[in-house]
Structure 1
């Protein structure tokens, strides 16, 4: 399709490019990669608040970044030249600023931070209602500036504790989890909802409630949750001993203690992670013991939580900016017998990366000054602005004082494959450890050199760090580096991480972060009309929809194919594809192939050379047992990992298809002979100005039937808002006609029965309820039922609103990861759009839409 160029100029002379023009030019830049082009245009191209685009391709962006970083360089001795900076950024080949820095550097159209990660909190001291609300406001203020936020809940007193107000006792942690989660969902960042990490110490008496909170449908859907586990608890589990929880969790003289069965709680953590990939685990003693900033804990650098993906543990009001080094680009003669890694160029660029990261801190300080200036100039009452102004002042202080950086990597999987090393093998793990050891040594060496030229971070104290395990490791590896650090100090309090690179890897066209390739070859499906001319139908699903399947090659696998002489522009049979993969260095090296224990041990070995943490996922097959998950968690702790996440295949159904045809033909059918009693969820929704209520009967935790109606005491059902669960009882009246009653148990343990659900409600809605329930009982996938509901041809606005409310209620039960058919991401154009906790989420760029 040809696009007409409609470039215009603003009154200041700047060029404005149309969306089509920028996408077309960027497609050429990315050599035909439409997804990479659309992600860049929608997510990273310079824009104003009206959506006007001021950059045509990523090359314009790289010139923008180089110009601004060069401006900061000129403040210091021996500055890098603008072209030197541009050359290491160009084409995403070597150094790739991530997220906030890529979007915000040189962007005068938005008043936003460059930081990717923040942690807020009350320094672990205040659990007053005012203190809790202050954190709520702080996280919202940060999210509106594009930051991901984490904070810890261990300071909140456990449920039932006495309080000196009219409530008399504390409600505990869970209600505040819901509050923070809801606040996150309310904040939009260019169409994306905020990102939040909530953590709690296993020592906290409410930790079990925290662990269970996300299992309840519709609760805490706006946050990731992780448990901070101390060595003492792990030892109690290993020795099958009891464990004492206490509050305050860090007090030597706690006011509350509770002895629990450590093994029972551990099994619950493992079971929940097996079911839903949460909670994540943070091995907290390892984190704080290894943390260099915690050498300054008494000066405000005590680590309390992490960012949403867990790779940056932080103290309250500290922040971090991220940058990735593209490891694949240092492989010379990739995928050949002459392949080798260019360590000389690699080390040189690590010094570039650390210098650029330090420059970005100065750029961030400028951004924070602009934010503070805007807050001060806003025509709001000073009392309203106080929390926001104080928040950014604290963040500025920490950024300037500690000058924390976050150098990471991407393309580890492709680098190993290009060198002919099988990901997860002993030799590959040895090589990866050597890579990350070099990053640690050279980045710290660069920071020492910067301290010599620019001055150390202001509270640097060699004596404080003398016994830190990470610093000791550097000393043992390079005595001269340690001596120089003792003499000149260090520019940055902490330097390294390994983050998930997400959209960054789309633009580097490599594997993501430290991960292996997901699949070198896979299939995607596209729904087609079988009556259209020249349409090929490869698959018909259980509801009769027709699909065409097409093959997708991983970018660097295509590079391997070209080097081996394979044609790219032809169709291959499945047998040919299988044979091709077997011959490639990606064989038995995908995320599902890599031995799980070896991956955990690899993470532990690399973690020794990363002063922050590592974001990595252990992918397990659907057949993996809870016992295996527990074993992997234990191995992660013993191997020195700081955190671990497990994802079991099949707990979410994804958009990428395996090569096994049988994997995609399983359909769960409920028994049509309804049991007399079903567990039920209560879901409330707004129908225009009326309050409505839905009762959703569940079988195996999946919707089986639905009843809806007005929520009032005249024409419908008046139910206490505290009631969210109960039972739907099926019985027969005196005439032998089936009837359905709702039964619940109140706080005092008394049962209450509301009779005649089918007769309380308008007959129109009863008929639609029967239609929906029938499709549910016969095994139609939930997302298909939602499509059916939304396609109903109803007349008046009230019923249409009812239709939307029912669809929203049912969306909560769609399995996470289910492909949203015929949906495209509004932000990047990708078809990889899935349901995630009832919201449509793009796997490519993270854009999320709820409703």
Structure 2
């Protein structure tokens, strides 16, 4: 029997586990941590395209990773064994492949890339429609393979520029932002929507429109946006001098220039970030100046944009895979006076992590070959497949030529606490910088050693890098590294990053990335049956559901409690919990407590030892001023940060429940119980069971006050052009004294058109229920509660149930972003932290979304 046939038989004999079996085994593995267990089963357990699960717990996954990486190791001298690799991965203790590598290595059932991050882009006259459509297709092709994508829009000519087609002038950047955003929303894998970063240079004449684009609700919801800011602009802001914008932005003889008030444009950037957490800022001159790959810009390695979270600046068609080193695991005797960081073990393992990352590049090249083979086998014509195939050929070339890696960390916050250092304090900042300096030196030493055994990356040239500040910083710290690199080269063009480690940190059961602990102790609610004698009811919500509140401890906070003689099973009062936290190293060291300026300076200090970038968010309370946000940005620039994002509590990117409820109450309190004769009205169209439905939602102060809904293609006909989205709902009296509601809109010619009698255009039964829901809305029930009320209606008629679904969908559009869903749990990870975002339910723990 041939080897391939034997392998096929082995695959067929593999045991298939049910979801429940895998979940129960993972729950035991994670010692009762339900969220970690669900995340692992849903995102990382080996599955085929039918959802069959082939791994029982993370030990099986880590064995799969170890087997595949050991296979690559055998190609090179002094290979690491499968068992050695397994011990590095086991229990997520030391080295943790992130995202794509964890799910994809050894997965023969799905054809997908191992890369976490991609950047794409065109050269030459790339703002042609052909170039723009090519980028759109490439973006979609990458997202369907699980990749996050970034690309820059600075090449697109500004609005009003002449073009040689029937349009005569360019529409500018914003319409293409919408196109790329919409493409992102269309692509989803396993409930995971694509991730996109759009960037533009502040030098571009359309940059102000770019900055404002996301403020309009419902627009550009499928992309993160960041502004590339140069030193000249920042100096103009500091000095209060004008700043020149131009197109093309790098031209010595631009077609178009204009001078702008830098301070005014800066104020808009700051205001929008304060209001909505976007745009993010990329200090572009710092990125380019420090970038090692940009030493090879003449060979196609000029950095143009970043991945969606900003931690990997990339040239077009380069990609990166991520791995995290768990910093907490190198603290000996944690949370005791004898606590100590084991630098020797840490540096040894960083060397292994860099080596494993290089192995993963070989595995990625195999995956790309598989993708290309799949494209060749597809039945479409060669012309249809051309863009996709060329895309992967370009990505393969960059991966093979530069061998870029992304070694990072997680658990910085827990590491510092375990060493009895308060995150953000001066000595904690100094220690973090020392850790990352050692990490950089160990990783680069490993890459040089691999160049001896495996060969340098093909385009390595010591002379090209002689003026690079990052490389010179390494050489100043380790003279022998300079001599060896000059002699042997190194294996990888760039090595390091600090990425967000959301689901990774759930499985390491530590703080995330470089961030502090979010909260050492917090409350969660569990819905209960009030008639069950075994349950305790702590809270009854507005719709009558009963909830039990229970205390959740951060995993390493429990370790601190145990190390310091505090009971972990006791029922603590809130006052006792507050006093307990005050005595711990987590006191005043959470994401909402740390000194913001210290955190910015820490990021700048650590950045000097990270050749890519750092994903970090500065969390601010809701009452901070815009001026403070601006000051933090300037400090970040001066401190050497490559980028920075601020999140003000309550900004549009995610409002806390308490704030949402307070604002809702304030809005309700000012509601008039007497309906005015005229209300603004929204038109909401949707589809139920292939039927076209329409809703007219009357608004008071921007909040739903009444709703009329039913079939759009009913016999009586709601003949409303699809372009109509808004109008007026007018209340009037018939001659017999009955009330009538008409919808009036202005057509394209400017004439007013009226649809009479919304109250009897729809099915009579629909109208009666609509009156009930409208009455609830106008008497002040919160919108999410009204949705729950509608969802809970027990209706026998199929048509009425369809109507019920339609009302829910129409009302979800108006739930304030960030509002916590009061019922249900995430279908992907089981978390109950579901919030509304643009009418969709978004899981705050794993990021999966469900749109109604």
1:582-626 deviation line (CA, Å, top 9, x unaligned)? 111101111111011111111111111111111111111122222
C-alpha contact 2:707 2:770 (8 A) present in aligned 1: yes
Root-mean-square deviation (CA), in Å?
A: 2.9
Where 2:548 maps in the other structure, the secondary structure is: strand
Q: Paired residue for 1:826? A: 827
1:6 counterpart residue number: none
Question: Cα distance, 1:132 vs. partner?
Answer: 1.3
CA contact (8 A) 1:433 1:605 kept: yes
- Go from structure 1 to structure 2 and tell me whether the alpha carbon gap of 1:844 and 1:797 turns closer, same or farther (over 3 Å shift): same
The answer to whether the 8 Å contact 1:654/1:819 transfers is no
CA contact (8 A) 2:503 2:845 kept: yes
- CA distances 1:325-349 after superposition (whole Å, capped 9, x unpaired): 0000000000000001000001111
Whole-angstrom CA distance in 1 between matches of 2:352 and 2:641: 28
Q: Does 1:813 align with 2:814?
A: yes
Match of 1:619 in 2: 619
- Once the two structures are TM-superposed, the CA of residue 547 in structure 1 deviates from its matched residue by 2.2
* Residues 1:610 and 1:823: Cα distance change in structure 2 (over 3 Å): same
- Distance in 2 separating the partners of 1:732 and 1:257: 59
Relative to 1, partners in 2 of residues 1:347 and 1:579: Cα closer, same or farther, differing over 3 Å?
A: same
Contact 2:543/2:789 (<8 A) preserved: no
Distance 1:516 1:254 in 2: 46
Query: Aligned partners of 2:193 and 2:367: how far apart in 1?
Result: 22
CA contact (8 A) 2:408 2:498 kept: yes
- Single out whichever of 838-847 and 491-500 deviates more from structure 2: 838-847
Measured against aligned partners, the alpha-carbon deviations of 1:9-31 in whole angstroms (never above 9, x if no partner) come to 97732222222222222222222
For residue 16 of structure 1, give the secondary structure of its aligned residue in structure 2: coil
**CA drift at 1:268:** 2.4
Q: Which residue of 2 aligns with 1:135?
A: 135
- Does structure 2 conserve the Cα–Cα contact (< 8 Å) formed by 1:159 and 1:169? yes
1:36 deviation in Å? 1.3
Counterpart position of 1:581: 581
Instruction: Within 5 Å, give how 1:403-802 maps onto structure 2.
Output: 403-651=403-651, 668-673=667-672, 681-687=682-688, 691-698=692-699, 701-708=702-709, 715=716, 718=719, 720-725=721-726, 750=750, 752=752, 754=754, 756=756, 758=758, 761-762=761-762, 765-793=766-794, 797=798, 800-802=801-803
| 1:270 pairs with 2:277 | no
Q: 1:528, 1:535 within 8 Å by CA — same for their partners in 2? A: yes
Runs of at least 5 residues in structure 1 that lack an aligned partner in the other structure: 1-8
Deviates more, 1:79-88 or 1:122-131: 122-131
Could you tell me which residue of structure 1 aligns to residue 80 of structure 2?
A: 80
SS in 1 for 2:150: strand
What is the Cα deviation at residue 213 of structure 1? Answer: 2.4
**Per the alignment, do residues 87 and 793 of structure 1 end up closer, same or farther by CA in structure 2, a change over 3 Å counting?**
closer
Partner of 1:55: 55
Distance 2:357 2:813 in 1: 41
What is aligned with 1:357? 357
Distance 2:185 2:48 in 1: 24
Deviations 1:217-243 (Å, cap 9, x if unpaired)? 322222222222222222233333333
Please list the CA deviations of residues 164-199 of structure 1 after superposition, one character each: whole Å capped at 9, or x if unmatched: 223333222222222222222221211221111122
Q: Provide the rounded CA distance (Å) in 2 between the counterparts of 1:127 and 1:840.
A: 36
1:173 matched to 2:173? yes
Counterpart for residue 200 of structure 1: 200
Distance 1:733 1:630, change over 3 A: farther
My pick for the range that moved more, 621-630 or 104-113, is 621-630
Structure 2 match to 1:145 = 145
1:101 is aligned to: 101
* CA distance in structure 1 between the partners assigned to 2:333 and 2:571 by the alignment: 28
| Shift in CA distance, 119/23, structure 1 to aligned 2, threshold 3 Å | same
Contact persistence 1:716–1:760 (CA under 8 A): no
Q: Is the 8 A contact 1:402 1:492 kept in 2?
A: yes
CA contact (8 A) 1:653 1:819 kept: no
Tell me: CA distance 1:726–1:217, structure 2 relative to 1, closer, same or farther (3 Å). Answer: farther
Verify the 8 A CA contact 1:652 1:818 in the aligned structure 2. Answer: no
Matched, 1:374 2:374: yes
Going from structure 1 to structure 2, the CA distance change for 1:210 and 1:339 (only over 3 Å counts) comes to: same
| Farther-moved stretch of structure 1 (831-840 vs 555-564) | 831-840
Contact 1:671–1:777 (8 Å) recurs in 2:
no
Greater shift, 288-297 or 210-219, is seen at 210-219
Q: Which residue of 2 aligns with 1:244?
A: 244
Q: Give SS of 1:549's match.
A: strand
Q: Deviations over 1:664-683 (max 9, x none)?
A: 99664252326677665443
| Aligned-residue offset at 1:800 | 4.2
Q: Displacement of 1:163 after TM fit?
A: 2.4
**CA-to-partner distance for each residue in 1:452-510, whole Å, 9 max, x for gaps?**
22111111122221112212222222222122222211211111100010111111110
* Distance 1:399-1:221 versus aligned 2 partners, 3 A rule: same
Q: Distance in 2 between matches of 1:173 and 1:806?
A: 36
Q: Aligned partners of 1:454, 1:736: CA distance in 2, in Å?
A: 90
Given that 1:717 and 1:760 are in contact with CA atoms closer than 8 Å, whether structure 2 keeps it comes out as no
Q: Does 1:219 align with 2:219?
A: yes
- The Cα of 1:766 is off from its aligned counterpart by 5.0
Residue of structure 1 in register with 2:209 after alignment:
209
Match of 1:844 in 2: 845
**Does the residue aligned with 2:203 lie in a helix, a strand or coil?**
coil
Quote the offset at 1:372 in angstroms: 0.7
What SS class does the counterpart of residue 13 from structure 2 fall into? Answer: coil
What is the DSSP-based 3-state SS (H/G/I as helix, E as strand, rest coil) of the residue aligned with 1:669?
Answer: helix
Return the alpha-carbon distance in structure 2 between the equivalents of residues 74 and 502 of structure 1: 33
Q: CA shift at 1:86, angstroms?
A: 1.6
Q: Which residue of 2 aligns with 1:4?
A: none
CA distance in 1, matches of 2:612, 2:97: 18
Count of residues paired in the alignment: 841
The more displaced of 429-438 and 179-188 is: 179-188
Whole-angstrom CA distance in 2 between matches of 1:630 and 1:333: 41
Contact kept? 2:650, 2:656, Cα under 8 Å: no
Note the C-alpha offset of 1:757: 6.8
> Matched residues in 1 for 2:679 and 2:173: separation?
30
Distance 1:479 1:759, change over 3 A: same
Shift in alpha-carbon separation, 1:160–1:139, aligned structure 2, 3 A: same
Answer yes or no: is the 8 Å Cα contact 2:671–2:780 preserved in 1: no
Which shows bigger deviation, 314-323 or 696-705?
696-705
In structure 2, C-alpha distance between the alignment counterparts of 1:449 and 1:218, rounded to whole Å: 51
The one-character-per-residue Cα deviations of 1:263-309 (angstroms, maximum 9, x if unpaired) are 33322222222222122221222212211111111211111111111
Q: TM-score, normalised by structure 1?
A: 0.92
Q: Judge conservation of contact 1:527–1:821 (CA < 8 Å) in 2.
A: no
Q: Report how far residue 47 of structure 1 moved.
A: 1.5
**Worse overlay, 590-599 or 234-243:** 234-243
Equivalent pair of 1:523/1:657 in contact (CA under 8 Å): no
1:317 aligns with 2:317: yes
Alignment of 1:394-405 (within 5 A): 394-405=394-405
- Could you tell me whether the CA contact under 8 Å between 1:77 and 1:453 is conserved in 2? yes
Q: 1:59 to 1:367 in 2, by over 3 A?
A: same
In the TM superposition, what is the alpha-carbon distance from 1:356 to its structure 2 partner?
Answer: 0.5
- 1:747, 1:634 → 2: CA distance? 47
Q: Deviations over 1:747-781 (max 9, x none)?
A: 89x57464657468436555554444443344322
Give how far 1:727 is off: 5.7
Indicate if the aligned counterparts of 2:542 and 2:785 stay in contact, CA closer than 8 A: no
Classify 1:455/1:520 alpha carbon distance in 2 versus 1 (closer, same or farther; 3 Å). Answer: same
TM-score between both structures, scaled by the size of structure 2: 0.92
2:276 and 2:653 in contact (8 A); partners too: no
Quote how far apart the aligned CAs of 1:801 are: 4.0
Query: C-alpha displacement at 1:805, in angstroms?
Result: 3.5
Partner of 1:293: 293
Report the CA distance between 1:843 and its aligned residue.
Answer: 2.5
After superposition, the C-alpha distances for 1:131-150 in whole angstroms (9 at most, x for unaligned) are: 11111111111111111111
